[in-house]
Amino acid sequence: MVRWITAQHERYGEAVRVAPDEVSFISGETAWQQIYGFHAGKQKSLQFLKDPVWFGYSEESKLSIGSALPEDHTRMRRSMSHAFSDRAIRQQLPLILEYIGSLIDGLREQARSESNIVDLERWYSWTNFDLTGHLTFGESFGCLSKRADNNFNRIVSKLDSAATHLVASNYFTITKWFPSWIFPQSMIELMNLRHEVLKHMQDLVRRRLDREVTQPDFMTEIAKDRGENGLSFPEMEMNSLFLMVAGAETPSTALAATTYLLLKNPDKLEKLRSEVRDTFGNTSVNDLDKLVGLPYLNAVINEGLRFFPPIPTGLPRVVPPGGATISGRYIPQGTAVYMSQYPANHSSRNFTNPNAFVPERWLGGHAYANDKREVVKPFAYGPRNCVGMNLALAQMRLILAKMTLAFDLELVHPERDWLDQKSFTVWEKNPLTVRVSEAK
């Protein structure tokens, strides 16, 4: 559907009514603020609330910051934001570097062995899953050490697909009466496993709260506000699951996609390698402040997120009573509206050569002076933007810089388009099979 909507925008323009009560926008320079932005004071009644059909609200889902009602979201956000502050990330840097070091050491071992072909997407996923697990629960899931998914990892990675299938059924009432016609038995079994995941979350959260830790983690900050003004225990459970899915899934997608795009564009990879080498020389790539200041590294990350946003779809909001004007168009109340990220990022309306991977477009080059870079919002926008954005960017900067200096990578199947994937809210990622050798 993502690429179908992309084609409709190329044909019909910046606003497309994809259903009688649903409009997709790619005019991000205005639509992001008008749909997702802050509305305070007299403008508060103009707040666009999340579409209950798409988000499939239940009493359970409302306990998570991702689907919480506005009054609860503000409280949850305030409680969780401390865990993702710049100060907290710097406190967690030794742990972040430890897991990234395990990634590099493991791949170096593979490079020195006869079996030097790896699925790099899985390695990125293991790293982020282990790290997010440790930051959330104070313990690793052991994926990197075992070089394999564990059962919990496998189930969590499939929850987005299962949830998307269930949400799709909300649009077609008849499916409520005939669920067996829609879902294969495996899907029903998967939803039963979801209850096992939540039970496991209870055990992990309880174990973490009972444990004293010397290294600060997410729960260190969240537990400080536990109670009336913070998160209740059920909210801690649901938000832990949310952090695991969002914290492990989206950075892994961004890293795999950006690595693939660099391997398909070796001249860009060499420019990145030269910048990192010139900055760090023979010293360890551990200085976040230096990495933040590398223009080409940041341009590569921005372009990777533009080209292949981890959440490619629109996240629907409902137009409030009285209707609203979005990008110069009046939209009646009750209509579901959204910014479609992948279509916006690949639109000739917004970008020169939109289907080319060009980090230079983020460096102010004359050829791309007319690009609407403000359209790209991979971490969403407004009061519900991604609370973990700074942590995700720190991980991406560190991993890409270290990988660039440590290894020479080669696509095993360069003829295959790794980006040709299905999307179930997030991408259903293909294996990224590469031959890994130590950098010369």
Q: How would you class 420 by CB atoms within 10 Å of its CB: exposed for 0-12, middle for 13-18, buried for 19 or more?
A: exposed
Q: How far apart are CA 394 and CA 64, in angstroms?
A: 24
Q: How far apart are CA 139 and CA 203, in angstroms?
A: 12
Q: How far apart are CA 32 and CA 9, in angstroms?
A: 17
For 164, other C-beta atoms within 10 Å of its C-beta total 17
Whether 143 has a binding-site annotation, put simply, is: no
Q: What are the two backbone dihedrals, phi and then psi, of residue 259, each rounded to the nearest 5 degrees?
A: -60, -45
Q: Of 57, 61, 87, 63, which Cα lies nearest the Cα of 75? A: 63
Q: How would you class 187 by CB atoms within 10 Å of its CB: exposed for 0-12, middle for 13-18, buried for 19 or more?
A: middle
∠ CA 105-110-114, rounded to 5°: 155
CA 428, 48, 380, 245 dihedral sign is: negative
CA dihedral 91, 290, 84, 53 (to 10 degrees): -150
* Known binding residues for heme: 386
* Known binding residues: 386
